[in-house]
A and B are shown apart, each in its own frame.
Chain A
Amino acid sequence: MTDIAPAAAATAAIESKDLSIYYGSFQAVRDVNLDIQPNRITAIIGPSGCGKSTVLRAFNRMNELIPNVNTTGEVLFRGQNIYKSDVDPVEVRRHIGMVFQKPNPFPKSVYENVAWGARINGFKGNMDELVHNSLTAAALWDEVKDKLDQSGLSLSGGQQQRLCIARAIAVRPDIILMDEPCSALDPIATLRIEELMRDLATEYTIIIVTHNMQQAARVSDRTAFFSLSDDGKRAGMLMEYGDTKTMFTRPEKKITEDYITGRFG
């Protein structure tokens, strides 16, 4: 296995080239070319079933946990194709973290939730400090500082999701993937997470899948719009990709405009 080299001169934080993903014989994603800019928030939007989650999971090889998934094309991270046979997916995921749709803290203490990932990745520094910093970065410290030894499951839904974000940043990833991180939360908790994402974007590259147009418009710098191919095969394709402002005011394609204005999807 080759170690993933420190950031090369590449301008993209991560980039897919002709990425196609199959579930068995069904092509869920076709020929996606997407370059994600560093320290930006990129939103992935599109109708249900167009392969947003599938593409997101392709960025840290989480699709491999699903049986019968086949990936072709390349995903370049630090100038290296993470699908090359000598790259270890464990190493990839350590650099590219993930926050899921449903908050899924471990049934362990708040402290342990944050510390565990760092510990298995060989963190040698001051663990208390790391936990403190990660929880602070996730805007959760003040709410949980008195219950670090309580179960992570005893927190509210929004707190649990921020705990999952703290857990993800505790291993110091370069990129954080978020799959509809707010869909299980109420509007106030959602706003908190959105603020948090803006803060985190100074240090991390964030890719977020969302169904919420306002959220994409509010929070993201760039937007990628996916839709189903119109050849009847229902493969997900990247339709349009650009600055969020442009996408939401002057989209190039009719289909993008229709989706954004809520005329379909």
Chain B
Amino acid sequence: MSASNLQQRHRTGRVWLVVFQVALLTGIVALTALLFNILNGSFGYVAIEDTIAPQDLAVNGVPLEEQDKDTLIQVLQAHISAGLFARYEFDKPFAERSAGEVYDLILERVVEPKFVAQWSLYETLTNRDAIRQTAAQDFPNARLEFRSWLNSHFLRAPQSSYPEIAGVRTAVLGSLWTIGIAVLFAFPVGVAAAVYLQEYAPDNLINRIIQTNITNLAGVPSIIYGILGLAIFVRALGHFTSGVAFGASDPTTSNGRTILSAGLTLGMLVLPLIIINAQEAIKAVPSSLRQASFGLGATRWETVWHHVLPNAISGIMTGTILAISRAIGETAPLVVIGASTFIQVDPEGPFSNFTTLPIQIYQWTARPQSVFRNLAGGASLVLLGLLLTLNATAIILRNRYRRSL
């Protein structure tokens, strides 16, 4: 072996090292760009024109936000028509509304803020003076405000066609409902199927075909599941998914495009993922445990229930949460089965119409007014927050189970 040969080999190694580093860097750049893009749209200056400035609504020098409910109701009554006030009273008596809700009504109907211009976070940070000048010139009546598009009002308020008061509450609830139903359906079915395949199924042709199919199903594009869900849950089983069969909905107006259909479709979508992950977790349980159990005269069921599942559960959980993370971001199949793009009332149960966060985001980005893109940015943050929460839960659950073993 000559020394020059060794140098050559080291050089090859260094070249590959650089390749790996560049690959990692590319990944990091892509992630940073993603994060920047979302944050860039979620914060920044807005120019707002109020019909009545909130300061002018202060009573006895107490600013609007700090007033009690009764005063807020008086302010509202003083500024809107009697008819409108009566309608609000009819919709939901003021006695039942919270101070926050009345405050929101005042904002919506009295202050009537209008976003006349908005700037991205980047512009806001780098070009503050120019923005101030432009705003003062073009919108002399507007106030310039640094706004976080993700704020408590945004989380609390339902969807609206006015960007000033629109929020993601309906969409978040819709997402939680559909995911909840998807998990209720897919988790037990998936785990049971995995137990059967790993612990019971003999190794024969039929089972191998089933196994291959499940593996392949995990890779089927989600839109196909949407079409499947449309055919089965919305159309064929519409009588049940609409709730008509249970007397829960009005047969003349309701259809199968409900939370239930959406949840079941998402459940089908993640079922193969849950099965495969649960199988891996079950496979990881050492066979010495099964032998010990059988050696004591345990049946297969006792072995599975007392030893295999408790030792696989943390892996099963992790897989399930990963599946949920996938489902929560799915848009295409829900569009196919007919999620409502505009819906203002909270979903009340499995038979309600619904929208979800990703659909809301999609719908806002498709609007021509640029202000909706900022709303989409805020909603993206909510979606990411939801995802992170779920993943954190998964990790906590898994660690807790690991420790208890």
Contact = CB atoms under 8 A, between A and B. Distances in A.
Interface string A167-179: 1100100000000
Contact of A97 (B295, B306, B405): B295
Contact of B295 (A67, A93, A121): A93
B298 interface: yes
Interface string B272-312: 00000000000000101111111111110010001100010
17 contacts: A65-B291, A67-B202, A68-B203, A91-B297, A93-B297, A94-B296, A97-B295, A97-B297, A100-B295, A104-B286, A104-B289, A104-B292, A107-B289, A120-B296, A120-B299, A164-B292, A168-B296
Interface string A124-168: 000000000000000000000000000100000000000010011
- Most B-side CB within 10 Å, residue of A62, A91, A104: A104
B288 A104 contact: yes
Interface residues on A, range: 20 to 34
Interface in A53-104: 60, 62, 65, 67-68, 90-91, 93-95, 97-98, 100, 102, 104
Contacts of A259: none
Contacts of B311: 107
A68 B293 CA distance: 21
A22 interface: no
A121 B297 contact: yes
Contacts of B289: 104, 106-107
Nearest to B306: A116
Nearest to B310: A107
Contact of A117 (B288, B291, B297): B297
A60 B291 CA distance: 12
Contacts of A65: 290-291, 294
Nearest to B298: A120
A117 B294 contact: no
A93 B289 CA distance: 15
Nearest to B288: A104
Q: What 3 pairs across the A-B complex have the smallest Cβ distances?
A: A94-B297, A117-B296, A98-B295
Contacts of B293: 106
B324 to A, nearest CB: 27
Interface of B: 202-203, 286, 288-299, 302, 306-307, 311, 405
A117 B298 contact: yes
Contacts of B299: 90, 120
Contacts of A95: 297
B294 A62 contact: yes
Given A120-B297, A120-B298, A106 B291 contact: no
A168 B288 contact: no
Given A107-B405, A120-B302, A167 B296 contact: yes
A36 B290 CA distance: 27
B405 A93 contact: no
Interface in A189-209: none
A215 B85 CA distance: 96
Nearest to A107: B405
Nearest to B300: A90
A171 B297 contact: yes
Contacts of A100: 288, 291-292, 295
Contacts of A104: 286, 288-289, 291-292
Nearest to A104: B288
A100 B307 CA distance: 17
- Most B-side CB within 10 Å, residue of A106, A121, A167: A106
A55 to B, nearest CB: 16
Contacts of A116: 296, 306
- Most B-side CB within 10 Å, residue of A91, A93, A102, A105: A93
B206 to A, nearest CB: 15
Contact of B296 (A67, A68, A171): A171
A88 to B, nearest CB: 9
B49 to A, nearest CB: 66
A229 to B, nearest CB: 28
B308 to A, nearest CB: 11
Contacts of A107: 289, 311, 405
Nearest to B307: A106
A92 to B, nearest CB: 8
A212 to B, nearest CB: 22
B398 to A, nearest CB: 15
Contacts of B295: 60, 62, 93, 97-98, 100, 168
Contacts of A62: 291, 294-295
A167 B202 CA distance: 30
Contacts of A90: 297-299
Nearest to A173: B297
Contacts of B296: 93-94, 97, 116-117, 120-121, 167-168, 171
Nearest to A151: B405
B28 to A, nearest CB: 39
A94 B297 CA distance: 4
- Most A-side CB within 10 Å, residue of B203, B291, B297, B405: B297
